[in-house]
Amino acid sequence: MASIVTDEHPAGRAIMIEGVGAQLRVYCRYGMKAVEEGSAVNSLTWNPTAGDWTMHVPCDADNMAWVKESLSKTSPRIKVFDVAEADRAEEEQQETAAKTGSNVVVDWNFGR
């Protein structure tokens, strides 16, 4: 996990925890942005690892093989995805829009 954070992938692609409750997306701040925002962190109102859960972490293609191998030894619940792949939430949103014929698209990342 340290390599994932050090490579700064969570700045643009979230570490996602999916389970019995709402999906938790964790983004990291780096450099001056981290210093400026300091301890401005929202507290959680639920336990994202209660029950059955999976963590999805971003990784670049060059490090994918060894990161998958390393994290699989730590926990079978941690899955690795390529930072170059489309965001799963965006894909699901596009599929839903295509099925329903709706052209409404919500940009949840607006203003980031």
Global confidence as pTM: 0.70
pLDDT at 53 > cutoff 90:
yes
CA-CA distance, 22 to 24, in Å (whole number)? 6
**Residue 57 to residue 14: CA distance in whole angstroms:** 7
Largest CA distance in the chain: 44
Compute CA 101 distance to the chain's CA centroid, rounded to the nearest angstrom. Answer: 28
**Of the candidates 85, 26, 94, the residue with the CA atom closest to the CA atom of residue 55:** 26
Domain spans of the chain, in order of start: 2-85
pLDDT at 4: 80
End-to-end CA distance of the chain: 24
Mean pLDDT of the chain: 81
